[in-house]
Copies of this chain bind each other. A is one copy, B any other.
Amino acid sequence: MADPRIEKWARALAGYSVEVKAGQTVAILGHPAAEPLLRAVHREVVRMGAFPVLLYTAEGATADLLAEGSDEQLRFISPIDRFVRTEADVVINIRAETNTRRLSAVDPKRQSLYTAARRALFETYMERAADGRLDWTLTLYPTDAYAQDADMDTEAYTDFVLSACKLDRDDPVAAWLELKDEQQRLIDWLDGKREVHLSGPDIDLTLSVAGRTWINSDGKRNFPSGEIFTGPVEDSVNGTIRFSFPVVTAGRQIEDIRLRFENGKVVEASATRNEEYLIQQLDTDEGARYLGEFAFGTNFDIARFTKNILFDEKIGGTVHMAVGLGYPETGSRNKSAIHWDMIADLRQGGVASVDGEPFLKDGKFVV
C-alpha cells in the first residue's frame, strides 16, 4: 500500500523524466532511506516492460573507505559504478542522505584523489547522455538530514520538496510542460546573442555565450528542474562575483565565496569559511578553475534557500554557474573531475543584461 504521492512521483520519473521504454536496462540508485520511492519506481519500471536493476547506495561505507583506504583502494572502480556509467540505458538516481556531513572529516586531498579516479568514467557517462545513448534523472527524497539543513521540520520539508517537484498539482507533467514552454520563450530570445553582463552588490562579471547552446531543463535530468543553462566560452569570463548562498558539498559548508576571473580563469578565490577546501578543489585539475556552466533559475515554486543545490540553483530569479566539467551538449569544452555550482541571488537589486539589454531584473524576467 504505497502513498499515492509516491506513486505519482514514480510515474513522473519513469514515464516523463526518462521515458522508460520496454527492453531497456534501468539502474535505480538510492540510499535505503528512500525505500518507498525506490520500490515504487522499481514497480513502475517493471510495469513498463523494462529491466530494472535496483542499487541501494551506501554513503556511510564510502566515508569509511575515504577515511581508511589506501590510494590504490580509493582508485578502485567497482563493477557496479562501471555498469551504471557505461552500460545502463537509463539511470534514475534518488538522493536520500541520512547525514549530509558524513564526509566532513575526510582529507580533501583524498576526496580529490577519489573523484579524479572516477573522472574518465564520469566523462563517458556525460558523453553517452549527450549523444542519446543514455537517459538519466536525479531527484531527492526528503530525509531528516535534508530538512535539518533547510532549518525545517521534516513534514514541512516534504511538502516543500513535493511542491518544488510540482507533485502537489493534479497533473504534474502538464505543469512541467507549461514551464518548458516558458523556458523555450526565454531561450528563443537568448539564441544568437553573445555577451552576458551581471551586475549587483559585489558583482561585476561578463562572459560570452557566443555560439553556445542554451538547454531547456524541464524536469527531465533534474527533478525538480526549472533552469536554462549553457556553457560559457571558456576564456571569456572576466570580473568579480560574490555568491549569495553558501556551497554545501562533501560534508562541508563553504561560505561567502568570492571569485575573480581573468580570461576565463579563476585567479583569486576567497571564502569566510572552508576557504582552504575551496582552493584545494579549484586545484583538482586544469579545468577546475574555468566555468563549465552558466544558468538562470526559473522555478518560482522554489522561493527559499535550503542548502541543497538541486533546489537552490532552480530558485526563480537567481543565476548560477559551475566551475569544472561542462555539459558537451551546450558546446562547453571544459573538462574536469569536479562540477561545483554556486548561486548568486539577483532578486534584490541585481541585473543580468544580454548584449546590452536587461534580461533578468530584481528576480523577474523582463523580456
Contact = CB atoms under 8 A, between A and B. Distances in A.
Contact of A61 (B54, B58, B79): B54
Contacts of A73: 46, 49, 51
Interface of A: 32, 35, 38-39, 42-43, 46-47, 49, 51-58, 60-61, 64-65, 68-70, 73, 76, 78-80, 83, 87
A70 B49 contact: yes
A54 B80 CA distance: 10
A58 B64 contact: no
Which of A35, A46, A76 has the most chain B CB atoms closer than 10 A to its own CB? A46
A244 to B, nearest CB: 38
Please name the 7 residue pairs, one residue from A and one from B, whose CB atoms are nearest each other, closest first. Answer: A56-B56, A32-B32, A51-B76, A79-B83, A42-B61, A53-B78, A54-B58
15 contacts: A32-B56, A38-B58, A38-B61, A39-B60, A39-B61, A42-B64, A49-B73, A52-B65, A53-B80, A55-B56, A55-B80, A56-B58, A79-B79, A80-B83, A83-B83
A365 to B, nearest CB: 43
Contact of A39 (B39, B46, B64, B76): B64
Given A32-B35, A39-B61, 13 more contacts: A32-B56, A39-B58, A39-B64, A42-B64, A42-B65, A43-B68, A46-B65, A47-B68, A51-B76, A54-B58, A56-B57, A79-B83, A79-B87
Which of A49, A55, A56, A87 has the most chain B CB atoms closer than 10 A to its own CB? A56
Contacts of A57: 56
Contacts of A68: 43, 46-47
B64 A79 contact: no
A76 B83 CA distance: 15
Nearest to A40: B64
A87 B80 CA distance: 12
B69 A46 contact: yes
Contacts of A69: 46
Contacts of A64: 39, 42-43, 46
A60 B35 contact: yes
A80 B81 CA distance: 10
Contacts of A38: 58, 61
Nearest to A66: B46
Nearest to A56: B56
Contacts of A32: 32, 35, 56
Contacts of A51: 73, 76, 78
A329 B60 CA distance: 38
A70 B49 CA distance: 8
A51 B60 CA distance: 16
A43 B63 CA distance: 10
A28 to B, nearest CB: 9
A69 B61 CA distance: 32
A53 B79 contact: yes
A97 B221 CA distance: 34
Contacts of A43: 61, 64, 68
A103 to B, nearest CB: 15
Contacts of A42: 58, 61, 64-65
Contacts of A56: 32, 55-58
Contacts of A70: 49
Contacts of A78: 51, 53
